[in-house]
Amino acid sequence: MLGQMSHQPLLISYQLRFADRFHHNIEVISRSVEGPIDRSSWGNVARRSRKLANALVAMGVKAGDRVATLAWNNNRHLELYFAVSGIGAVLHTVNPRLPLDQLRYIVDHAEDGVLFFDNTFVKLAQYIASQQLPVKRYVAMTDAANLPPDTHLPELTDYESLIAPHSEEFEWPDFDENTASSLCYTSGTSGNPKGVLYSHRSTVLHSYAAAMVDSLGICAGDVTLPVVPMFHVNAWGVPYAAAMVGSKLVLPGPGMDGRSLLELIESEKVTSLLGVPTVWMGLLTHMKSVGYTMTHVKKVTIGGAACPPSMIEAFEQQHGARVIHAWGMTETSPIGTVNTLLPKHAGLSAEAQMAVKRKQGRPLYGVDLRLVDDDHHIVPHDGETSGHLQIRGPWVASSYFRRDRDESHDGEWFYTGDIATIDADSYMQITDRSKDVIKSGGEWISSIDLENAAMGYPGVAQAAAIGVAHPKWQERPLLIVVKQPGADVTAEEIQAYLTTKLAKWWLPDAVAFIDALPLGATGKVLKRQLREQFADYKLPT
Ligand code: ADP
């Protein structure tokens, strides 16, 4: 027997329609590429998205067509999020930090017909135009006065002139909720990037999940600033969830440095921040250098890479903001696990609480997790035994765009490539990427634990542990450290400190210093590049 409830499909356009009807006046602020702050509102975003939808249709964009963006977090990008998906086309958010060969590959692979770009990326647009790719039209996300001159880009228009002649009336069409809505390629540390094709259904369900209290808790009571880029994994779904719940949104544009972020956080009274650890490192360093304590921020969501306990401490103890540590992937939309404490943790000491908070968190309803060993046997959730992490659920990819078979799916479970433990309370903890594990004498050493411990030592800004060849143990850990500006730490001091924190056989055989760690397109440390750089490193015997 079937239920007798309405068949309204789960479509992204309904989120915008709802925001327009019920959160009309809630502000949406963004820093423009030109510099000034652009003040909009959900009502205005909805109105301009309808004009844009008319413009896209007039341009010949049809259901299923891919429309690419090379853009920061800003209002026009937000309008593209809703208008492109709303007409049934697919928004392909391109990561401008990708190496050029990968950029070329994905624009070609996705067959993007139109490219919208911020003026910052005019050179990348010109590169794309020079490569005989499918892109036919270019739109600079600015107004006529700021249209870059002499670009020689075919059919170039500025965004404001493009939408100006079009009507504010547009009836968002209904279609199957499984229709593709957006496309994001993984940064592909080896081989070509792979496209993850989200659907309206997966996006809307993920939005509900993002808004849950035990999740990112996106809500009307918060002023939300996603530093996590809209060009990667839909800014963790924040734009959609914010439209749904009516959160004031503050978009930082190109200003991702500590000083620009702090200015916006304070002037807009931001209460909720979201981003990767490298961004927070910049903000914390800046605030320390100017002796500033944040006044309004209540929560900082940190994910994309392991959040060191020293960062949790800095936000919680110095700035009075709660840290929400989360784990996810491009393939999981991205939210998989989120760390919130249980009632049983309330009375624990700060140290015992930190042992919980440093973990990547518990699965949200909607996703299912398990661990398997090398032979695909399930391993226990005892907090000790580590295994390969697998995940399934309605916002987890089932395959990659235009790729028939892939070893990372078995039809039901997605193989994350992460090594993790899950404890009796279901807190998952990542110990490593499987390709980054350090194997000493047949046993794994968690590079994340080593790095977290090292970053607890004053004067250490960042740390990365890699395995280096060793005649007896096959591999031993080398710790690579970036010092805090002006700090005068030595390898011996760091090693002495680590002996108080780690098991003896986990201790790095050597500590090397470096000016900056190599970062990939999503702000993560490129371990592969470090391993190449230190391939000939001779550990002391
Ligand atoms: P890419 O690097 O291709 O952009 P993703 O953004 O999809 O890939 O990154 C997903 C990976 O990032 C995860 O598989 C995991 O290794 C790592 N990651 C994400 N969040 C965390 C976290 N909180 N702690 C440790 N690692 C994390």
Please, what are the averages of pLDDT over each run of 10 residues along the chain (541 residues)? 96 98 98 95 98 98 98 98 98 95 96 98 98 97 96 96 98 98 84 93 98 98 98 97 98 96 97 96 94 96 95 97 97 98 96 96 97 95 96 96 85 94 97 88 88 93 93 92 92 95 92 93 88 90 75
Closest C-alpha among 213, 237, 230 to residue 328: 237
Atom of ligand 1 nearest to the CA of 306: 24
Closest C-alpha among 376, 455, 386, 445 to residue 419: 386
The secondary structure element, H or E, covering residue 266 is: helix 258-267
- Which amino acid is present at 219? C
Q: How far is the CA of 411 from the centre of ligand 1 (A)?
A: 22
Q: How far is the CA of 239 from the centre of ligand 1 (A)?
A: 20
Question: Residue of the nearest CA to atom 11 in ligand 1?
Answer: 329
Instruction: Exactly one of 136, 269, 435, 439 is catalytic; name it.
Output: 439
Report the pLDDT value the prediction gives residue 188, as an integer from 0 to 100.
Answer: 61
Report the pLDDT value the prediction gives residue 437, as an integer from 0 to 100.
Answer: 86
Q: How far is the CA of 488 from the centre of ligand 1 (A)?
A: 32
Measured in whole angstroms, how far is the alpha carbon of residue 221 from the centre of its chain?
23
Report the pLDDT value the prediction gives residue 514, as an integer from 0 to 100.
Answer: 95
Is the separation of the CB atoms in 350 and 316 below 8 Å? no
Long-range Cβ contact pairs of 444-447 (< 8 A, separation 24 or more): 444/386, 444/419, 445/477, 445/505, 445/506, 446/506, 447/477, 447/527
Report the pLDDT value the prediction gives residue 189, as an integer from 0 to 100.
Answer: 60
Closest C-alpha among 158, 156, 121, 151 to residue 135: 156
Atom of ligand 1 nearest to the CA of 95: 4
Domain 12-26+42-199, CATH number (from 3.30.70.260, 1.20.140.10, 3.40.50.12780, 3.40.50.360): 3.40.50.12780
Q: How far is the CA of 305 from the centre of ligand 1 (A)?
A: 5
> Which residue of 98, 327, 414 sits with most ligand 1 atoms within 8 Å of its CB, as the best mutation to test the pocket?
327
| Phi, psi (degrees; rounded to nearest 5) at 203 | -70, -40
CA distance 242 to 208: 10
Report the pLDDT value the prediction gives residue 267, as an integer from 0 to 100.
Answer: 97
- Quick check: is 439 catalytic? yes
- Quick check: is 331 catalytic? yes
Closest C-alpha among 342, 346, 363 to residue 426: 363
Report the pLDDT value the prediction gives residue 442, as an integer from 0 to 100.
Answer: 83
Atom of ligand 1 nearest to the CA of 233: 6
Atom of ligand 1 nearest to the CA of 521: 4
Three-class SS of 22-51: HCCCCEEEEECCCCCEEEEEHHHHHHHHHH
**Position of tokens 């399934």?**
392
| Residue 65 token pair | 């067509």
Report the pLDDT value the prediction gives residue 59, as an integer from 0 to 100.
Answer: 97
Q: How far is the CA of 57 from the centre of ligand 1 (A)?
A: 36
Question: Residue of the nearest CA to atom 19 in ligand 1?
Answer: 304
Question: Residue of the nearest CA to atom 20 in ligand 1?
Answer: 304
Q: How far is the CA of 265 from the centre of ligand 1 (A)?
A: 26
Identical fold, 12-26+42-199 and 438-533: no
Q: Strand, coil or helix: what is 447?
A: helix
Domain 438-533, CATH number (from 1.10.287.70, 2.60.120.260, 3.30.300.30, 3.40.50.1580): 3.30.300.30
**Position of tokens 């280096």?**
468
Q: How far is the CA of 433 from the centre of ligand 1 (A)?
A: 9
Question: Residue of the nearest CA to atom 9 in ligand 1?
Answer: 329
Atom of ligand 1 nearest to the CA of 332: 7
Q: How far is the CA of 421 from the centre of ligand 1 (A)?
A: 16
Report the pLDDT value the prediction gives residue 147, as an integer from 0 to 100.
Answer: 97
Question: Residue of the nearest CA to atom 10 in ligand 1?
Answer: 329
> Which residue of 400, 430, 433 sits with most ligand 1 atoms within 8 Å of its CB, as the best mutation to test the pocket?
430
Atom of ligand 1 nearest to the CA of 302: 23
Closest C-alpha among 382, 302, 312, 378 to residue 335: 302
Atom of ligand 1 nearest to the CA of 334: 7
Q: How far is the CA of 524 from the centre of ligand 1 (A)?
A: 8
> Which residue of 455, 524, 528 sits with most ligand 1 atoms within 8 Å of its CB, as the best mutation to test the pocket?
524
**How many other CB atoms sit within 10 Å of the CB of residue 530?**
20
- Quick check: is 186 catalytic? yes
Q: How far is the CA of 334 from the centre of ligand 1 (A)?
A: 9
> Which residue of 329, 437, 450, 526 sits with most ligand 1 atoms within 8 Å of its CB, as the best mutation to test the pocket?
329
Domain boundaries in the chain? 12-26+42-199, 438-533
User: Pocket around ligand 1: residues whose beta carbon is below 6 Å from it?
Assistant: 186-187, 303-306, 325-330, 360, 416-418, 430, 433, 522, 524
Instruction: Exactly one of 313, 444, 483, 501 is catalytic; name it.
Output: 444
The secondary structure element, H or E, covering residue 462 is: strand 460-470
- Quick check: is 472 catalytic? no
Report the pLDDT value the prediction gives residue 460, as an integer from 0 to 100.
Answer: 94
Instruction: Exactly one of 186, 203, 416, 421 is catalytic; name it.
Output: 186
> Which residue of 232, 301, 418 sits with most ligand 1 atoms within 8 Å of its CB, as the best mutation to test the pocket?
418
pTM to 2 decimal places = 0.94
| Residue 31 token pair | 């820093």
Atom of ligand 1 nearest to the CA of 187: 3
